[in-house]
Structure 1
Amino acid sequence: MAFDGLFIHSLLTSLSPTLEKGKLTKIYQPFEQDLILNFRKDRLNKKLLISANAQTPRFYLTTETIVNPDVAPTFVMVLRKYLEGSILQKIEQVGVERIVNFYFSNRNELGDEMQLILSVELMGRHSNVILYNATDNKIIDLLKRINPDENRARLLLPHAKYELPPLTEGINGLKLTEEEFNQLKQTYPEPIDLAKRFNGLDGDDRKEFTGYLEDDYSYSSLKTFFDQFDHPKGYVFQTQKHKDRFFIYLPYHLDLQLISSNTNVNEALEDFYQEQAKREWVRQKAKRIENIVSNERKKLEKKIIKLNQELDRAENSESYRIKGELLNTYLHQVKPGMQEITLPNYYENNKDLKIKLDVALSPARNAQKYFTRYQKLRNSIKHINEQLRITKENLDYFDSIQTAIDNADPQDIDAIIDELTNQGYLKQQTSHRRKKKITEKSLNTFKLSDGKTVLVGKNNYQNDWLTLKKADKKDYWFHVKNIPGSHVILQSDNPSETDIREAAEIAAYYSKAKHSAHVPVDYIQVKRIKKPNGAKPGFVIYTGQKSIQVTPDEETILKKRIK
């Protein structure tokens, strides 16, 4: 189920008592569509994540540590001015709509009390976070300022009066009385028709509710269904098409398979969205460099095609030499001013060969022209092969950057930006950001079945540091064969076959081949690894390696990861 009205009602049953009367101490906007509000209550800090992302609008308490931008966006500066230090008086949902109002009280510069409302609207692409004054309903600022031409229903700009968006009329099942139900039952004798009249349900909820009424068309069935939303738990189900769905109750009328459950809805919700949110945050933060990587890869792929065409012409240049020889042999037949001549090719049983001529050149010069072109093409083979090697290395490098982005956490993107800047692909920008020193905490860490530790670099700088500085010379190094991926270190000088297989699976997962089967992985002791002078970050050479083929399984691998 999505963040529909009933879901929000359920979430607030635990969220409201946790946050109400708490002091808002810090506000961050780590990403374009996401806010973090830190509340202090009963000597505990609680971080509320609010996301107006069009695909996954949501809010819940998070334990995630998110790196904040060096310069705060305008909206968060406004929120800090008006809300930092304020007390959250109450949280209220508008009916069973996807709108939640957070009521704050604070004092302005003159010491006068202000009543402020932070309205969170979770409505797909129209999702927004709006701060307005409760006294006159004037908007102070909002996360997404909307041009009047884009939304004619209401004005969403600072100083405009806040108005609710157009809402669909419907029945609130949480407040429906038995008498009202019986009247509706007469009007709608078919359960499916009545179910369509209720607000706050998404498609899955409506199907489940319809199933309850079809089993027993009574107020008792309605009450049983809606009472579940006052006592929520967290359940993750999978559809027949292997898509995950989150529910706060156990559905009986939908064809779903239970994957996990948790009595704490908020914890279950954070686990459900964690990977999805991480990928979205990485996408937002890496948008600029992904465009650069994509453009560079396209240019290099086109260059490789062009170089291969040139190489093909150079390697098939014998025709120019033959034409030159034939012209010299039958020079007496070539007359000045001829545009072409047909001569017997003694290399192919005297088969006729048509040869084009330059009318401005003498017969002998025409022959020499073909010999010169032949020699030039033959001499170019070495140069073309060298250019192909360099171009393929550069393409592999950008593949490694893309793989690093795919495997990155949001806080890892800065290191990739630094790398591309140092390599000259990004312009040097003036920044007050302090470069993070690479430590073991920067890496991904895994515990194998027998307790041995595996360390994984998440970008080229971490790969170099891990392999060339951190790892012991007797440790074992793993990397997918001839495919961009992370450097993986197994901290052992005498690994078992099981250790090698598990470490190889981790290396395969953190590579471009993570979704492939039978992935070849090289492994060798670190002392055999060398980095050539002038090589790009992450590039090493080695000899004497062994290989193993593995098929990475995401669930199995991530269970070994130490958070």
Structure 2
Amino acid sequence: MAFDGLFIHSLLKDLRPILVNSRLAKIYQPFNQDLVLTFRKERKNYQLLLSANAQNPRFYLTNQTITNPDKAPTFVMVLRKYLEGSILLAIDQVSVDRIVNFRFSNHNELGDQVQLILSVELMGRHSNVILYNEQTKQIIDLLKRVNPDENRARLLLPKAKYELPPLTPGINGFDLSETEFKQKTLNSNFEEFAGQISGLDRDDRNELIGYLEDNNSYSSFRTFIEQFDKSGAFILKTRQNKRKIFPYLPYHLDLVKESYDTDLNHALDEFYQYQANQDWVRQKARQIERIIKNEQKKLTKKIAKLQKQLDQAENSEGYRIRGEILNANLSKVKPGMTKIELPNYYDNSHLLEIKLDAALSPARNGQKYFKRYKKLRDSIKHVKEQIQIAQTNLNYFESIQTAIDNAEPQDIDQITDELTNQGYIRKQPKQKRAKKMTERNLNKFQLSSGKTVLVGKNNYQNDWLTFKKADKQDWWFHVKNIPGSHVIVQANEISDQDVIEAAEIAAYFSKAKDSAHVTVDYVKDKRVKKPNGAKPGFVIYTGQNSIDVTPEQEQVLSRRIN
């Protein structure tokens, strides 16, 4: 289900006891559409994520480590000025709509107490976070400033008066009495009645319809509505394996229960973690991906051009044959001729048309064909070398793209540093030095046998893991001939089951993660070498064994231990 009004109602029942009367200690904006507010209460810190992402607008407490950017955006600077150190007095929902107001009390520059509201509007592409003065209703600032031409319903700019967005009128199910229920359902079918209840998305409406079809009574309606006053969360899957989260267990939808969590905030954090990571990575990696795309485009064109030259060189025998035939028939070539047909003794004396330069003598025309032939033959080795270099560079950029696909937001800085050192990104004058590599940078897994598996997420991590961290007797895994992570099993001896599980991890963290059958090579770490001058992440190895596996996301990630 979506983050609809009744879902927000459920979430606030868990959130209010934790955050109300807490002090807002820190505010930062790690990504364009996302804010993180750190509250402190009873010697504990709580991180509240607010996201105005058009695809997944949401808010909840998160335990994820989100890097604070070096430079704070303007909106964050404003929030810090007005809200840091303030007390959160209340969290109110506008009816059962997707608007939540966080009410703060703080002191202005004169020491006077002021009441401020941080309004979070979760409305798809119109989602926004707006700070305004509760008394004057004047907007102080907002996450998304909207040009008046783009939204004529209300003005969304600093100093404008805050107004609610146009809301669809409906029935608040929590306030509906039995008498009103009977009146509303008297002349309406179940679909029409459910459509009038505010705060329901399509899944909730269908579930309510199912309740009323089972038992068309006020008691049945109250049973459905009161589920949103309970704690906990259910994760369910559709037939297409799409995951959905509910604050109750639906019985009338075609869904399969996956798990239950007593803490709705924790469930939301887990539920959105993968998607949020992907969104944040894409935002941080935008510049890198542009560079990768441009380099791949240039290299692909270069390889095609070189391949054409190679094909021409490898099929250059025709120039030699024309030169020989001309030399054998010099007397037949007359001055001023631009072409001549002569019998080809390599092809049953069939006539072969030979183009001529009228300004050259017959002998010089023959020499011209021999020179062209020799030049093309001599170029084969060079062209093949250039194709190999271009293909190696193309593979390198594919490995960078794979690293981005497997990255977490904090990994992008390492990838940027790598491309800077390779000369693809201009070094900034005040660019920070890369942090020292540690095991904490890696992905960590545990096999069913208890053995630990370490996984590099980019080329720098791969090199460090393979040549610095790993013991020479550890086992090294990598997909065959495809960009992917270096995977180390920290053990001298491994069982067949260990091989399967480690190979599945290697396959998942590779370009072939969505393939049904992936070939993975594995070998002792001591047999893995890095050629002199090779790009980051590139290695060679000998004496390997191979295994075919099918990576399953759920199964692989269930073994993760960090």
Q: Do the structures match in fold with TM over 0.5?
A: yes
1:465 maps onto 2:464 in alignment: yes
* 1:50 Cα deviation after fit: 0.4
Following superposition of structure 1 onto structure 2, how do residues 47-62 of structure 1 map, counting pairs within 5 Å?
A: 47-62=47-62
1:248 maps onto 2:275 in alignment: no
What is the match of residue 476 of structure 2?
477
What is the match of residue 544 of structure 1?
543
Q: Distance in 1 between matches of 2:554 and 2:192?
A: 42
What is the match of residue 174 of structure 2?
174
Q: Distance in 2 between matches of 1:489 and 1:260?
A: 31
Uncovered stretches (5+) of structure 1, i.e. residues with no partner: none
Following superposition of structure 1 onto structure 2, how do residues 34-113 of structure 1 map, counting pairs within 5 Å?
A: 34-113=34-113
* 1:461 Cα deviation after fit: 0.8
Q: Distance in 1 between matches of 2:14 and 2:385?
A: 65
Following superposition of structure 1 onto structure 2, how do residues 12-411 of structure 1 map, counting pairs within 5 Å?
A: 12-186=12-186, 188-411=187-410
Q: Distance in 2 between matches of 1:335 and 1:392?
A: 48
Q: Distance in 2 between matches of 1:310 and 1:192?
A: 68
Q: Distance in 2 between matches of 1:541 and 1:156?
A: 58
Change (3 A) 1:500 1:241: closer
* 1:529 Cα deviation after fit: 2.0
Q: Secondary structure, in 3 states, of the residue corresponding to 1:204?
A: helix
Q: Secondary structure, in 3 states, of the residue corresponding to 1:235?
A: strand
Q: Distance in 1 between matches of 2:109 and 2:440?
A: 43
Instruction: Give per-residue Cα distances to partners, 1:28-87, cap 9 Å, x unaligned.
Output: 111111111111112211111100000000000111111111111111111000000000
1:515 maps onto 2:520 in alignment: no
* 1:370 Cα deviation after fit: 1.3
Q: Distance in 1 between matches of 2:450 and 2:190?
A: 57
Q: Distance in 2 between matches of 1:89 and 1:492?
A: 54
Instruction: Give per-residue Cα distances to partners, 1:320-348, cap 9 Å, x unaligned.
Output: 11111111111111112112111111101
Change (3 A) 1:415 1:181: same
What is the match of residue 489 of structure 1?
488
* 1:432 Cα deviation after fit: 5.4
Normalised to the residue count of structure 1, the TM-score between the two structures is: 0.98
Q: One-letter code of the match for 2:537?
A: G
Q: One-letter code of the match for 1:245?
A: K
Q: Distance in 2 between matches of 1:302 and 1:545?
A: 34
Instruction: Give per-residue Cα distances to partners, 1:93-136, cap 9 Å, x unaligned.
Output: 11111100000000012101111000000000000000001111
Instruction: Give per-residue Cα distances to partners, 1:278-324, cap 9 Å, x unaligned.
Output: 11111111111011112211211121111111111110011111111
Contact 1:323 1:367 in 2 (8 A): yes
Equivalent pairs, count: 562
Q: Secondary structure, in 3 states, of the residue corresponding to 1:469?
A: helix
Q: Distance in 2 between matches of 1:284 and 1:246?
A: 25
Bigger shift: residues 463-472 or 428-437: 428-437
Q: Secondary structure, in 3 states, of the residue corresponding to 1:561?
A: coil
Q: Distance in 1 between matches of 2:74 and 2:260?
A: 40
* 1:171 Cα deviation after fit: 1.1
Q: Secondary structure, in 3 states, of the residue corresponding to 2:529?
A: coil
* 1:256 Cα deviation after fit: 1.0
Contact 1:70 1:432 in 2 (8 A): no
Bigger shift: residues 478-487 or 411-420: 478-487
Q: One-letter code of the match for 1:523?
A: Y
Instruction: Give per-residue Cα distances to partners, 1:458-501, cap 9 Å, x unaligned.
Output: 11111111111111122121111111111111112222222222
Instruction: Give per-residue Cα distances to partners, 1:5-25, cap 9 Å, x unaligned.
Output: 111111111111211111101
Structure 1 consecutive aligned stretches of length 4 or more whose deviation exceeds 6 Å: none
Q: Secondary structure, in 3 states, of the residue corresponding to 2:541?
A: coil
Contact 1:324 1:370 in 2 (8 A): yes
Change (3 A) 1:293 1:267: same
Q: Distance in 1 between matches of 2:494 and 2:51?
A: 45
Q: One-letter code of the match for 2:120?
A: V
* 1:403 Cα deviation after fit: 0.9
Contact 1:70 1:433 in 2 (8 A): no
Change (3 A) 1:518 1:183: closer
Q: Secondary structure, in 3 states, of the residue corresponding to 1:347?
A: coil
Q: Distance in 1 between matches of 2:430 and 2:174?
A: 52
Contact 1:50 1:58 in 2 (8 A): yes
* 1:434 Cα deviation after fit: 4.6
Change (3 A) 1:349 1:434: closer
- The CA RMSD over aligned residues, in Å, is 1.3
Percent sequence identity over aligned pairs: 67
Q: Distance in 1 between matches of 2:470 and 2:306?
A: 39
Q: One-letter code of the match for 1:111?
A: G
Instruction: Give per-residue Cα distances to partners, 1:129-169, cap 9 Å, x unaligned.
Output: 00001111111110011111111111111111111111111
What is the match of residue 5 of structure 1?
5
Bigger shift: residues 101-110 or 293-302: 293-302
Following superposition of structure 1 onto structure 2, how do residues 414-433 of structure 1 map, counting pairs within 5 Å?
A: 414-431=413-430, 433=432
Bigger shift: residues 334-343 or 18-27: 334-343
Q: Distance in 2 between matches of 1:256 and 1:536?
A: 48
Contact 1:24 1:86 in 2 (8 A): yes
